[in-house]
Homo-oligomer: A and B are copies of this chain.
């Protein structure tokens, strides 16, 4: 049986994908609870909800994803990666590099939250169609100002890495690299035109993305049924009107 249990919504990549990538890139066995356990056996999304609301859990999560490892339950994507990082050898060589990987992850999380808010700028309880006028305005700001600012900052980070511009942290793969790969994937899906424009100015970010995609375990994962496709329930949604001219 797998040591690690990932609890996340079964139909989307979402924030759970950052955890999946860390587990997949290292060949770590895990149970993707809401997807792997059949619902007629009490698994599926019901299992996730049951665990999320488990009154006996002294460390309840505000929302999925959360990771169960033995009797530890950890929520918040970045905290999950903070925990997994040293265990999967994805957090650099020492405390300083682990902290830097985490800081990078938190900035990726900020970018992801902003990407989400382009289609839900008013409320997660409303449909996109009911906040579309505002979404058009927020998405314009995101693609014109925020995407270039975030990607430009990651480019700068890569350029400044004393160990070279291949990785964000030192000279080895970290979860921050995997997460930046996913951010680029998501931006290219949701905002193909504006992502292409911004990425034209960030060659090291593009190279990092391509290197991650080329890793054997990541390739295998991306071609497997375990990789959920982008869709209009997730964080990165392709609404052409939000990508501008």
Interface residue ranges, A against B (CB under 8 Å):
55, 57-62, 72, 74-76, 78-79, 82-83, 96, 99-100, 102-103, 106-107, 110, 113, 117, 121-123, 125-126, 131, 134, 137-138, 141, 145, 150, 153, 156-157, 160-162
Contact = CB atoms under 8 A, between A and B. Distances in A.
Given A76-B102, A76-B107, 6 more contacts: A58-B161, A60-B156, A123-B137, A123-B138, A125-B145, A131-B137
Contacts of A123: 137-138, 141, 145
B160 A60 contact: yes
Given A75-B103, A122-B137, A153 B62 contact: yes
A117 to B, nearest CB: 7
Nearest to A113: B113
Interface centre among A58, A59, A100, A150 (most CB of B within 10 A): A59
B58 A162 contact: yes
A231 to B, nearest CB: 24
A42 B162 CA distance: 29
A160 B156 CA distance: 44
A74 B103 contact: yes
A79 B100 CA distance: 9
A99 B79 contact: yes
Nearest to A107: B62
Given A122-B137, A137-B122, A138-B121, A72 B96 contact: yes
